[in-house]
Amino acid sequence: MNFLRLLPVFISFLMLAAHFFRAGQTPIVILLMSTLFLLLVRRNWVPWLIQLILVLAAVEWLRTLFVIAQVRIHMGEPWIRMAMILGAVALLTVLSGLVFRTAALQAWYSESRTSTQP
């Protein structure tokens, strides 16, 4: 069931990886895809790291939006639809980090493992 809760995170990472793959940034694609394996690690720092990456990803989407919009405006081409699409992608990316606020995922990533203390 946690897989379904994490689906927005997977989608956000896949879209970002496709973005960098199109730009020819294969090392970043490999890093992003391997970072997804951290979701299997049950530690309380994992959600923080994934959320940080998602915020940085949203910033990258907004940067891309502004760069493409400037080029399209300069060339006299329509740009509003593109801006709305990339804005929605940025919003989806940043909001996908909120899945870690659900009780099930907070319990999953809490460090409630059994310890052997005297």
Q: Is residue 55 part of a domain?
A: yes
Burial of 21 (0-12, 13-18, 19+ CB in 10 A): middle
User: What dihedral do alpha carbons 105, 110, 116, 118 form, nearest 10°?
Assistant: -140
Q: Is residue 118 part of a domain?
A: no
Provide the number of structural domains found in the chain: 1
The pTM of this model reads 0.88
In which residue are the tokens 């460090």 written? Answer: 111
Q: Is residue 114 part of a domain?
A: no
Q: Is residue 24 part of a domain?
A: yes
Q: Is residue 97 part of a domain?
A: yes
Give tens-digit pLDDT for 99-111.
999 999 999 998 6
Q: Is residue 116 part of a domain?
A: no
User: What dihedral do alpha carbons 60, 86, 95, 34 form, nearest 10°?
Assistant: -50
Which residue spans within the chain are E strands per DSSP?
none
Domain hosting residue 88, numbered range? 2-109
Q: Is residue 96 part of a domain?
A: yes
pLDDT above 80: residue 117: no
Give tens-digit pLDDT for 55-87.
999 999 999 999 999 999 999 999 999 999 999
- Cα gap 82→116, rounded to integer Å: 56
Q: Is residue 50 part of a domain?
A: yes
